[in-house]
Amino acid sequence: MQGREQQFVDLLREVVELESPSLDKATTDKLVTWIAGKLQDLGCTVERIAQEQYGDHLIARYWPEHLGPAPEGQLLALCHLDTVWPAGEIVWRPFRVEDGKAYGPGAMDMKGGVVQALMALQAINDLGLRPARPLVLLFNTDEEIGSRTSRPLIEQEALRSKATFVLEPAEGISIKTFRKGVGMFRVCVQGRAAHAGADHKRGVNAIEELAHQILRIQALTDYSSGTTLNVGVVSGGSRTNVVPASAEASVDCRVSTMAEAERITETMKALQPVNPAAKLTVDGGLNRPPMERTEAIVAMYEKARGLAAELGFELPETGTGGGSDGNFTAALGVPTLDGLGAIGHGGHAIDEYLVIRYMPERAALLVRLWEST
């Protein structure tokens, strides 16, 4: 792998320059076609799942005939092809390599992980290695917007798998053994409009009511349990001389356990107006379950740490408040390791980069995990 560092860079350049915004199907499908061709060249059977609104998804299966009868179960690798960057970003922020770092839209999150998966598969072929089980690589195109259409595919393949490896970026040099669950709520208040000068008393101020609710919601944050709530967007009212008849807030929720998810959901849905003349409605809920640090995940991590030591590098573990597709697989009880992708900095930021020298060792680790799990 280390002797092929330039191949990593060349592949990364191609993948980054084929832009893939979550909301631009035509542009993203060009990358999907390119990835499908690479996978077929590597000996995979590729299924392309057409999507109307977003880019098509790919499921690649690898178990060449010369390996004989396949053992029970499979190993699942998850990669998302979509990025948060709009089409044309590459024009004014082109791919470049500088001081051992590769820059470009989506380079770290997560096109570096995509390249590492392709190179790991290349190594399996070139070295004549035998995976412990059939390999399934799932490339989806809507992860950055909640995996709206790909979640059923991910869960379907996870239930057939002995383990899942997620090629999301690392946290520093650490892989992720837990992630918080993510929820979204919308809080709507209906009041009563009135003239702010001539008939103020008759009005029911929806913004005032919402302010009370915001304080209640923010107070649900509990850092000791890992629960956070963030009222991030607020709107309401029409004119300063009108008592506002409506107001609403969008709330981000992060939880470390399903028990907390259920408690917060019940609490949010049970909110009552302070002013009985106002009407309050709350909708939404959890959209990504937490990836909890289970015994099975810890055992998988210890195996990966041992393999990394054999390869000559450290592999610490950590967790994060952000969600990924690994949340879905872990919630089904499938041992899941996340953050096996690129090492770098600045995901979703204009200074995003990955450190090239780590790509070979991370790809090598994935090969060893495929061989031994």
260 lies in the same domain as 295? no
137 lies in the same domain as 159? yes
Helix, strand and coil content of the chain, in percent to the nearest 5, comes to: 35, 30, 35
Provide the pairing of β-strand 279-288 with 242-243: unpaired
* DSSP code for 194: E
Give SS3 for 299: helix
Q: What is the pTM of this model?
A: 0.93
Of 288, 316, 345, which one is at a domain's C-terminal end?
Answer: 288
Task: Tell me the backbone φ, ψ of residue 261, rounded to 5 degrees.
Answer: -60, -45
Measured CA to CA in angstroms, residue 127 lies from 48, 118, 211, 364 at distances of 28, 14, 63, 12
247 lies in the same domain as 275? yes
CATH of the domain at 360: 3.40.630.10
Angle at 68 between CA 161 and CA 365, to 5 degrees: 50
How many Å apart are CA 143 and CA 157, to the nearest integer? 16
85 lies in the same domain as 120? yes
117 lies in the same domain as 22? yes
How many Å apart are CA 203 and CA 358, to the nearest integer? 62
Cβ 323 vs Cβ 168: under 8 Å = no
Domain that holds residue 69: 2-179+291-372
- The one-digit pLDDT tens for each residue of the chain (373 residues) are 999 999 999 999 999 999 999 999 999 999 999 999 999 999 999 999 999 999 999 999 999 999 999 999 999 999 999 999 999 999 999 999 999 999 999 999 999 999 999 999 999 999 999 999 999 999 999 999 999 999 999 999 999 999 999 999 999 999 999 999 999 999 999 999 999 999 999 999 999 999 999 999 999 999 999 999 999 999 999 999 999 999 999 999 999 999 999 999 999 999 999 999 999 999 999 999 999 999 999 999 999 999 999 999 999 999 999 999 999 999 999 999 999 999 999 999 999 999 999 999 999 999 999 999 9
Of 237, 264, 288, which one is at a domain's C-terminal end?
Answer: 288
Q: Residue 161's beta-bridge partner residues?
A: 74
One-letter amino acid at 201 equals K
201 lies in the same domain as 146? no
The pLDDT assigned to 148 comes to 94
249 lies in the same domain as 199? yes
Cβ 13 vs Cβ 90: under 8 Å = no
231 lies in the same domain as 206? yes
CATH of the domain at 216: 3.30.70.360
297 lies in the same domain as 283? no
Cβ 311 vs Cβ 368: under 8 Å = yes
> In total, how many domains does the chain have?
2
The pLDDT assigned to 337 comes to 98
User: What crossing angle do the helices spanning 358-372 and 5-17 adopt, rounded to 10°?
Assistant: 100
58 lies in the same domain as 167? yes
8 lies in the same domain as 149? yes
Cβ 282 vs Cβ 185: under 8 Å = yes
Burial class (CB in 10 A: 0-12, 13-18, 19+), 119: buried
Question: 64: which 2 tokens?
Answer: 């060449």
Of 288, 319, 347, which one is at a domain's C-terminal end?
Answer: 288
74 lies in the same domain as 173? yes
